[in-house]
Amino acid sequence: MKLDLFDDYVALIRKNKNFKLLFYSRVISLFGDWFNLIASASLIASLTDSGQAISGLFLARFLPSFFLGPFAGALADRVDRRKILVAADLLRIPVVLAFLLIRSADYVWLIYVLTALQFSMLAFTESAGNSFLPDVVEREDLVVANALLGTAWSVMLMIGAAAGGLVTFWIGKDGAFIIDAFTFVLSAAVMWQVSGYIGVEERPKENSSETTFIKGVQYVWQHKPILMLASLKAIGALGYGALNVLEVTLAEDIYPLFDNGSLSLGIIYLFSGLGTGLGPIFARRWTGENFRLMHTIILLSFIAMFASFLIMWQASNLWILLIGVTIRTIGSGMNWVFSSAMLQMIVPPKYQGRVFAINFALLTLTQSISIYLGGWMTDSLLWTPFHIALVLSVVPAAFILIWIAFQNVLGDKIEATGYALT
């Protein structure tokens, strides 16, 4: 394992052209996504005055992926994954441009419809993208590749959200939506250049009954350690999902900078990006490709999330809140990157599309539940964001105990290269 922190990441981009293109495509698309989030959240906030209305926006971003996941996962195991990623980018362009039609509170419903259409493509990009990575990257580079893609998400969160807040503040929401549409054009163009990877025709031939989503569910259910790994993101999201609602409320109503909530929200997302980006990079320096050490990182990730909720509970100003946000996203970033890498390391290629579809469907389901509860606690129970953060801390606290028990049950079956299961 090299001592220089970024050497392995730079080397992977230099030596692997296909991964470099996949990485650049991801960066471009994510940059536009964060413009869209700031603009649409600000649009909802300006047209309504409801925590549940903001919850509806985030539900529209996540729930479609839950319902489309079964189809998307099976599709990713049957057809060319690169073509799925390109098609998903192109289909989102007209949807994003349609946001320009929204001019008054009478059209709030259209925000939800367009958001649901745009983010329904996530079911396809997540299952195809995660299962495509082992097609273009060697097994020993999977943790590096996942950490680098996670860092791309984080850096674009920092740059895209901060820039989105400034653009929305300076030139308005329409400019942010136009930029978002243009990024999908560029992303598709870059992804189309990927070539020479392991294509669908080179995967093991199976009859159609073996590539159904039900077969994928049966595979996951029969392999309980894989079921646990596929649930990690979902369990984390059950805790932090509601924070999507709380952060908008905190930015718009409690800590607006210069009386502008978009600017505060952009800064919150900037610090979120710092956490999700740096956490996996420093963690990977310790773990290398050691599967057993990755298990320990998952435990540390939930400890970080638990601590962050307690800090947010006591946050008396924006800067203390940002400390809590950074610690939480260090934990969620490590959870995301290492759970993905472990699944890619041990799940056979013929199942990966469906396994990651299950992984993402569980995530969107629990995140949607958490988001709804966050809006409900805000509007119906009249709880403050700080009290809600305290309640949410129960989720990571409980899972810390579950994960310790899980590791004790497996014991020596957790090896440096995976699970020794018969």
On whether residue 2 sits in a domain, the answer given is no
On whether residue 418 sits in a domain, the answer given is no
Tell me what pLDDT residue 189 has: 95
pTM for this prediction:
0.80
Residue with tokens 């290398």: 288
Strand pairing partners for 419? 414
Tokens of 108: 């709030």
- As a whole number of angstroms, the distance between CA 39 and CA 149 comes to 24
On whether residue 392 sits in a domain, the answer given is yes
Residue with tokens 């057809």: 79
pLDDT digits (tens, 9 = 90+) for 384-410: 999 999 999 999 999 999 999 998 888
Parent domain of 252: 7-197+206-413
Return the CATH number at 315.
1.20.1250.20
Tell me what pLDDT residue 359 has: 92
On whether residue 409 sits in a domain, the answer given is yes
Other CB atoms closer than 10 Å to residue 35's CB: what's the count?
A: 29
On whether residue 420 sits in a domain, the answer given is no
Low-confidence ranges of the chain (pLDDT < 50): 1-3, 202, 422
Position 64, amino acid: P
Can you spell out the DSSP letters for 335-399? Answer: HHHHHHHHHHHHS-HHHHHHHHHHHHHHHHHHHHHHHHHHHHHHHTS---HHHHHHHHTHHHHHH
Domain total in the chain: 1
H helix count then E strand count, the chain: 17, 2
pLDDT digits (tens, 9 = 90+) for 49-78: 665 677 777 778 778 888 888 888 889 888
On whether residue 139 sits in a domain, the answer given is yes
Tell me what pLDDT residue 99 has: 85
Tell me what pLDDT residue 88 has: 92
On whether residue 1 sits in a domain, the answer given is no
On whether residue 421 sits in a domain, the answer given is no
